[in-house]
Structure 1
């Protein structure tokens, strides 16, 4: 098992494992955290297990191309969310990120802190050229997080996200290794 951990002042991001299935299931079962997510609310723990099994397998690969981190608060080891970093084709030297935090931890700077840490890891350790992300156009909180860290809004994809509320447009953000990170 890979022991990779990314540390911040308040948080630790560590690769998920089978032991995380229950906390991930609880996170995925919260309607507010599902509002802008395409995964949907799982019917049961078994469904969550099926979803995260490939993530865990990817985390344990000899060469990780799709990282899925549990975000934990350092003071109490409380699970507060998930963070993903998916590497693209090597030729392009880029990746995409995603994150999902428990609503009890919204508006406290944890998403921004996590995103900064993963961007630093991507650029400083993995030597990536570009990291992108997208969010539903109505997901104002996520858009603000990306803008706070220096990601630039590059465009809008039309009706690409199948949300519970129907098809949603997505704002596309990115940051380059040469851009200023906030």
Structure 2
């Protein structure tokens, strides 16, 4: 089981008892406003089952980690990445935080810890992150971690009837915040 620590957080492997929190995040329309229309419970459960399995970098699967308060053990959210191109040592990052945890710096703190671990343990060369252009909070998280805007894809994806522009951010391992 993977465990990472920051001053305020414990970041650990997803486990079976995390199902209710995983489901709540994936069903919350406000949290998913810039990500997707919430999927059916069966689809979310399949995603959970896959992500709760033992993870390996070479699998290309998402490493999904639970973010908890070090002080209270309270569930804060999820963070992680998946290897897009193993031979190119490139990984896509992602995070979802419970609404009660927004605006407290947890996404930045946890993402920074994951990036540091991946650079040291897995020799990831480049991290990429995507967010809807209107998702200012997510863009700020990446920028605080040192990501740079590399491009904007116009009307890149659709949520319901709404086409959204998507921003692509990149961070080279050598440029990461320390």
- Would the TM-score normalized by the shorter structure come out above 0.5? yes
> Following TM superposition, by how much is the alpha carbon of 1:48 offset from its aligned partner in structure 2, in angstroms?
2.6
What do residues 132-180 of structure 1 show as CA deviations (whole Å, max 9, x unaligned)?
1010000000001111111100001122222245221110001101214
Could you say if the C-alpha distance between residues 89 and 7 of structure 1 is closer, same or farther in structure 2, counting changes exceeding 3 Å? same
The answer as to 2:83 corresponding to 1:91 is no
Distance in 2, matches of 1:17 and 1:161, equals 31
SS at match of 1:88: strand
What do residues 60-100 of structure 1 show as CA deviations (whole Å, max 9, x unaligned)?
45965431111111111111111121012221011010000
Q: Which runs of 5+ in 1 are unaligned?
A: none
* TM-score, normalising length: structure 1: 0.89
Asked whether the 8 Å contact 1:25–1:42 carries over to 2, the reply is no
Distance in 2, matches of 1:140 and 1:62, equals 30
The aligned counterpart of 1:100 is 96
Distance in 2, matches of 1:180 and 1:89, equals 20
Asked whether the 8 Å contact 2:55–2:63 carries over to 1, the reply is no
SS at match of 1:75: coil
**What CA RMSD, in Å, does the superposition of the two structures yield over aligned residues?**
1.8
Q: Which runs of 5+ in 2 are unaligned?
A: none
Distance in 2, matches of 1:180 and 1:48, equals 32
Distance in 1, matches of 2:168 and 2:71, equals 34
The answer as to 2:68 corresponding to 1:68 is no
The aligned counterpart of 1:133 is 129
